[in-house]
Amino acid sequence: MHRLTISRLFLGLFLIVTIVFAITAYRLVLTHLPEFLSVFIFWLLAFFKMLYDASARVYLVVNRAIAWLTSATANWEFAIQYVIPAEQDSATEQAINSIFDVFPKARLWQDDATQKIVHAPGFTVRIKLLHDVSLEESEPPTTNLFLDLTDMNVSYRYTEKTLFKKIAPLLEKLSRNINAEWTKYTLRIKYDGANPFFGLYVKKLPPHQVAKFHCELFEIVGSERDSVTVGKEETIIITTSITSLLALSQKYLSLSSSSSG
């Protein structure tokens, strides 16, 4: 009975001390609330900044959110080169027909011997056919068909829609209709501001101190070895297959976390 009384006494004293401490701490917090919040926010931001600098995944998530909220836009320039047999004179018409098949509302703006210009929804296509005469008699002459897609200002929110609803169907149609011996795709993305990928490679340097910067990466997609160049204000993707082009474009334009390596 005596031990039980002492236990209850200590428990009561502990509860009283705890209540007094809680009340004192509560009053102290209320009294110095601005200072307390300032210190809390400071350390919270410091911790977040540490994660932002140390983790590529956090860096990409933050920049992806900013790009989505601000609806950041970029200018796309897309060049296609087809090496075709010299006798394939109908390649230009096949390219134009492919564009009209995918985009029925497209319009032919220019049709002369120098080039063809087709305006499709969201971009303009310039088509040129050039014949190369080989200096070696043993080498047959080759013909190059060039398609340049310009005037493409794409919002971050519509990146994947532009890739898979516009670009991909057109490339697939062109690939089926043009009997190319070799194909090269070059996608150049110019940003209104800084390249969102830029900070991944020069995090330790303030952006205004970097006058020029180019980082060339080699990506393996399937059996293809493709080139990706990251600059201060642009990204360039060069590949020879549609599959690689779409995969790398989605990775480097959508700021996919997988691109962090």
Q: Pairing state of beta strands 234-239 and 142-155?
A: unpaired
Least confident range of 36-40, 113-117, 118-122, 246-250 = 36-40
Q: Above 80 in pLDDT, residue 64? A: no
Torsion of CA 85, 88, 93, 95, to 10 degrees: -20
Amino acid at 203: K
CB atoms closer than 10 angstroms to residue 86: 13
For helices 56-70 and 33-54, what crossing angle results, to 10°? 110
List the end-to-end C-alpha distance of the chain, in Å, as a whole number: 69
Per-residue pLDDT at 28: 66
Look at 104 and 208; give whichever has higher pLDDT.
Answer: 104
Contact present, 80 and 185 (Cβ < 8 Å):
yes
Half-sphere exposure of 189 (CA within 13 A, CB side): 30
Helix (H) or strand (E) holding 178: none
Contact present, 95 and 174 (Cβ < 8 Å):
yes
Q: Above 90 in pLDDT, residue 69? A: no
Hunting for tokens 């334009």 — which residue is that?
253
How far is the C-alpha of 240 from the C-alpha of 186, rounded, in Å?
Answer: 9
Q: Averaging pLDDT over each range in 8-12, 55-59, 189-193, 241-245, which range is the top one?
A: 241-245
Nearest to 125 by CA among 102, 156, 158, 155: 102
Per-residue pLDDT at 14: 72
Q: Is 222 left (phi over 0), alpha (psi -120 to 50) or beta?
A: left
Sorted by where each begins, the domain ranges of the chain are: 2-67, 68-260
**Per-residue pLDDT tens over the stretch 166-210:** 999 999 999 999 988 899 999 999 988 777 766 666 654 455 545
How far is the C-alpha of 102 from the C-alpha of 106, rounded, in Å?
Answer: 9
For helices 168-177 and 242-253, what crossing angle results, to 10°? 170
Contact present, 230 and 212 (Cβ < 8 Å):
no
Half-sphere exposure of 108 (CA within 13 A, CB side): 14
Q: Above 90 in pLDDT, residue 79? A: yes
Mean pLDDT of the chain: 79
Contact present, 118 and 127 (Cβ < 8 Å):
yes
Reduced to 3 states (helix: H, G, I; strand: E, B; else coil), residue 258 is helix
Nearest to 72 by CA among 181, 233, 231: 233
Q: Above 80 in pLDDT, residue 73? A: yes
How far is the C-alpha of 23 from the C-alpha of 19, rounded, in Å?
Answer: 6
The percent of residues above 90 in pLDDT, for the chain, comes to 28
